[in-house]
Structure 1
Amino acid sequence: MNQVINCAVAVEFPIDVEAFKAEVRSSILIQHPRFCSLMVTDSCGREHWRKTQVDVDRHVIARHQPLSDDIHISDDDAVNDFIADLSVSSPLPTDKPLWEIHLLVAHKTVLFRVHHALGDGISLMSMLLSCCRRVDDPSQLPTIGGVGVASSSPRRRAWSVWTLVKVVWYSLIYILEFSLRVLCLRDKTTAISGGDGVELWPRRLASARFRVDDMKIVKRAVANATINDVLFGVISCGLSRYLDIKSPKALPEGLRITGVAMVNLRPQAGLQDIWKLINSKSGSRWGNKFGMLLLPVYYHSGGSDPLQFVRRAKTMIDKKKLSLEAPFSYKVGDLVMSLFGPKLASILNYRIVCNTTFTISNVVGPREEILMAGNPVKNIRTTSSSLPHALTMHMVSYAGVADLQILVAKDIIPDPKVLATVSKMPCLK
């Protein structure tokens, strides 16, 4: 699907281009086999990786001039507009390994562009943070959720007979629904629907910023809720309010809008030891190891209690956690890839995206402030391109703040800042 991950890292001080290139040359990134290989096709049409020599000067691109002639535009907006343009106009060149780093010197921002074939969000965030250090102790690696980048605690779950019954029941229901989504089942068209070919449409990008402490306050208001429950509740409420603005009284109460979420399936949750990921014999592995979950949002008019959206989100996500939908989607995709090749696998993925309405992901970043090449990091924002959804949302948390990037097809959703605003309003007042 030629999907590219764009990660923008804003730093505090002006960027020293040569010092940054020297840091890249000495980093683990250059040592990783996937980042120094070309994707090539043999005489039989089979694709495979071929090792090559990395020319850092071709991969690290310094841009000294401002991205916009408008002196009133903020750095964040200028960078967002630049990423939105890249999302549809500039695929990664195939004559070099599939990654680039743009140093936007005038805006003190480092933009990483990495093809999704090189890894998923957990792999790439693990690599990024392995190259960073903590501001309060430059000798230490960043930590995430109380756990260091180099370690993580295994997931534990107590099983009972009733729990097993629910696992079987929910798995049957959700696996059947997932299969129908691949074949024919499709969301009803709304003001935020995309579809076949929309990945080629011009884009706009907006940011919504949340304080993690505010989200924790909302979490405590709903028994046993998690930050992910709050995030999805806020998004559910925001989408309902946006649809109220765009098509008031035109939608039936309770209309279903389906999102696609990616779930990390590695034995350990959270960020990983980068060397264990690279080592194919370890329990975790590098690359793309995630399953898909279909997460429904139900439209409710503006009079609804915002906390009700969080409660609904929690109820639904708790059921999804018990099901085997995510492992099933991964195993089926892996089987199709092995038996029939990547072409058919990508067609199936494409159909799932076309038959749903939006993409959502959430990657937990470091708890404390970090240094990149000795430069303090202000924020980390990420998004991805080349999906036929008209709406994709990616959240990354960093040092107590969570940034949600909202990428839209501008001919369908011309006002993403309005969507970002109504998404922030509901549950965080």
Structure 2
Amino acid sequence: MGSVEIETDEPLTPAGRLFLRPEINQVIYCAIGLKNPIDPASIKTEVLNSLMLKHPRFSSLMIRDSNGREHWRRTHINLDDHLIILHNPIKEGDLLDDKDHESAVNHFLADISTSSGLSYDKPLWEIHLLLAHKCLVFRLHHALGDGVSLMSMLLACCRRIDGEEGLPRIPSFENKKSNSSSRSGGGCSGSWWRLYLHYLIVLWGFVKMGLFSLVFVVEFVLRALWVRDRETVISGGEGVELWPRKLATARFSIQDMKVVKKAVRNATINDVLFGVISSGLSRYLDHRGSNALQQGLRMTGVAMVNLRGQAGLQDLSALMKDNSVSPWGNKFGMILLPVYYHTSGADPDPLQYLKRAKVMIDRKKHSVESHFSYKIGYLVMTYLGSMVAGLLNYRIICNTSFTISNVVGPQEEIAVGDNPITYMRVNSSSLPHALTMHMLSYAGRADMQILVAKDIIPDPEFLAKCFEEALLEMKEAAAATNKS
């Protein structure tokens, strides 16, 4: 007789359990705009033929045992339960034009960001088809995986439209290999003093890592206990996650960001992003009449850092392997990233925002803050339970000013079936922050979704404009610097 394989329930990871806590409960929303009208039957066929339904996370129920522990249990997928079709245009009273598709989609996303969570009667994902606006909205619980995992899964449902085979390409962020080995074959060129200098540099690197790690880890612990940002017009706090939301989109050109980063040696796109946020928030605070604020006032952001062995996105099949260096799931650490208020005119050089951001981020890179937050979260979840871990994470959010994330998408245009994608945008459900920002790049552009508590930040469209103008001002300054 042949053996019968019996499937057993799989326990949730500590991070997955954390995202199910009622005070943290996080759902990720990915809006995908399409060039042509949506054919629901075609979308259904694409999903049925994709790797998504073969992935155990997307074909499992989340259940709790008698001890309250969460597990994944494989189940049969009825795709009709996961495809939600909206035929009529989304409107906000009489204020929305029938052709204003971006505002309509943003209104829909803002509305469901504070609505009831996903039903536990089925696997924790849905696809909403906004037919009138030619938009797909993937609604996925964060317990299924993080941004890297979920973006890799979404791209596995798409194809390139340039005629090339394979999945869409993602820019590589692997460190370039050192040329030291090719230079070491010169006989006695590696003299003793060069070796001595090399060891001094390495030693100083370890010293810096220890010092920065100590400072940032202590700050991280204090933020979880009582240290809080000074209150401003963008501050949230306990209970704000339940307040109504508004959503706006800031659009950036990747080429513009590259021009800016060239103006500061060894700067990165992330450095530029945080410089833009610092400048944009300063502009917005001035607009809201916050001129009495102290120059250099700190506003602390919470950011997530991918901790996988390989940066960037990967083929979904590689993520699904048990022995992968870049496994599926929630594999990220949390870091605190401060930006500083400077009133208009205080900094005649817009690139100062970028330079300050680079110094701060470089120090973070020399620390183990992200690894510490991941490990301490794992230990608290394991030994003290999800309630304590959820409370500590909730306090960190309440004591800071905003959330920021940046996910890298495909370089070229892609399609769902035969329907080209015009934009890709991502945001998440509400947090105690009154301001959350999620940037996703796609085909030379980067769209940042700005989700706000509308009773605290009533004009997110103006805030988006502040960010866009900040980048353009930096671009002008960078162009002048690069010419000189």
TM bucket (normalised to shorter chain) is over 0.9
Q: How far 1:96 sits from its partner (Å)?
A: 0.8
Quick check: 1:154–1:269 contact (8 Å CA) kept in 2?
Answer: no
Aligned partner of 1:330: which letter? Y
Alpha-carbon distance between aligned partners in 1 of 2:161 and 2:317, rounded to the nearest angstrom: 23
Alpha-carbon distance between aligned partners in 2 of 1:386 and 1:36, rounded to the nearest angstrom: 26
Residue 407 of structure 1 pairs with residue 451 of structure 2: yes
Matches within 5 A, 1:410-429: 410-429=454-473
Quick check: 1:135–1:371 contact (8 Å CA) kept in 2?
Answer: yes
1:374 aligned residue: 418
Moved more, 61-70 or 106-115: 61-70
Matches within 5 A, 1:177-326: 177-303=219-345, 304=347, 305-326=349-370
Q: Secondary structure in 2 aligned to 1:173?
A: helix
Q: How far 1:427 sits from its partner (Å)?
A: 3.1
In structure 2, relative to structure 1, the CA distance for the partners of 1:342 and 1:154 (3 Å cut) is: farther
Q: Secondary structure in 1 aligned to 2:265?
A: coil
2:86 aligned residue: 63
In structure 2, relative to structure 1, the CA distance for the partners of 1:278 and 1:352 (3 Å cut) is: same
Q: Deviations over 1:274-319 (max 9, x none)?
A: 1222122222211101001100011110112321100000010000
1:26 aligned residue: 49
Alpha-carbon distance between aligned partners in 2 of 1:87 and 1:237, rounded to the nearest angstrom: 27
Q: Secondary structure in 2 aligned to 1:297?
A: strand
2:70 aligned residue: 47
Alpha-carbon distance between aligned partners in 1 of 2:166 and 2:418, rounded to the nearest angstrom: 13
2:29 aligned residue: 6
Q: Deviations over 1:227-283 (max 9, x none)?
A: 110111001000011011113322111111100000000000000231222122222
Among 112, 136, 141, which residue is 2:138 paired with? 112
Displacement over 6 Å in runs of 4+: 154-159
In structure 2, relative to structure 1, the CA distance for the partners of 1:194 and 1:46 (3 Å cut) is: same
Give the root-mean-square deviation of aligned CA atoms.
1.6
Q: Deviations over 1:310-357 (max 9, x none)?
A: 000001000001100000000000111111222221211111111100
2:434 aligned residue: 390
Aligned partner of 2:459: which letter? D
Quick check: 2:89–2:98 contact (8 Å CA) kept in 1?
Answer: no
Alpha-carbon distance between aligned partners in 1 of 2:227 and 2:76, rounded to the nearest angstrom: 46
Q: How many residues were matched structurally?
A: 424
Aligned partner of 2:343: which letter? S
Identity over the aligned pairs, expressed in percent? Answer: 60
Moved more, 4-13 or 36-45: 36-45
Q: Secondary structure in 1 aligned to 2:227?
A: coil
Matches within 5 A, 1:77-96: 77-96=103-122
Alpha-carbon distance between aligned partners in 1 of 2:158 and 2:471, rounded to the nearest angstrom: 34
In structure 2, relative to structure 1, the CA distance for the partners of 1:287 and 1:351 (3 Å cut) is: same
In structure 2, relative to structure 1, the CA distance for the partners of 1:121 and 1:339 (3 Å cut) is: same
Q: Deviations over 1:36-58 (max 9, x none)?
A: 11111111222211211111001
Aligned partner of 1:346: which letter? G
Q: Deviations over 1:350-388 (max 9, x none)?
A: 111111000000001001000112210001000011311
Alpha-carbon distance between aligned partners in 1 of 2:77 and 2:428, rounded to the nearest angstrom: 24
Q: Deviations over 1:393-418 (max 9, x none)?
A: 00000000000100000000000001
In structure 2, relative to structure 1, the CA distance for the partners of 1:248 and 1:348 (3 Å cut) is: closer
Quick check: 1:10–1:108 contact (8 Å CA) kept in 2?
Answer: yes
Q: Secondary structure in 1 aligned to 2:470?
A: coil
2:400 aligned residue: 356
Alpha-carbon distance between aligned partners in 2 of 1:267 and 1:143, rounded to the nearest angstrom: 19
Aligned partner of 1:367: which letter? Q
Q: How far 1:132 sits from its partner (Å)?
A: 1.3
Alpha-carbon distance between aligned partners in 2 of 1:419 and 1:61, rounded to the nearest angstrom: 32
Q: Secondary structure in 1 aligned to 2:472?
A: coil
Moved more, 32-41 or 324-333: 32-41
Quick check: 1:206–1:407 contact (8 Å CA) kept in 2?
Answer: yes
Q: Deviations over 1:117-168 (max 9, x none)?
A: 00100000111112211111253311111x4xxxx84787997111111111
In structure 2, relative to structure 1, the CA distance for the partners of 1:102 and 1:255 (3 Å cut) is: same
1:98 aligned residue: 124
Q: Deviations over 1:42-75 (max 9, x none)?
A: 1122221121111100101111111126435511
Q: Secondary structure in 2 aligned to 1:144?
A: coil
In structure 2, relative to structure 1, the CA distance for the partners of 1:247 and 1:71 (3 Å cut) is: closer
Aligned partner of 1:59: which letter? H
In the superposition, the TM-score normalised over structure 2's length comes to 0.85
Among 96, 114, 128, which residue is 2:154 paired with? 128
Aligned partner of 1:321: which letter? K
Aligned partner of 1:122: which letter? V
Aligned partner of 2:71: which letter? H
Quick check: 1:263–1:326 contact (8 Å CA) kept in 2?
Answer: yes
In the superposition, the TM-score normalised over structure 1's length comes to 0.96
Structure 2 segments unaligned to the other structure (5+ residues): 1-23, 179-197, 474-484
**Greater CA radius of gyration, 1 or 2?**
2
Aligned partner of 2:355: which letter? R
Alpha-carbon distance between aligned partners in 1 of 2:156 and 2:68, rounded to the nearest angstrom: 36
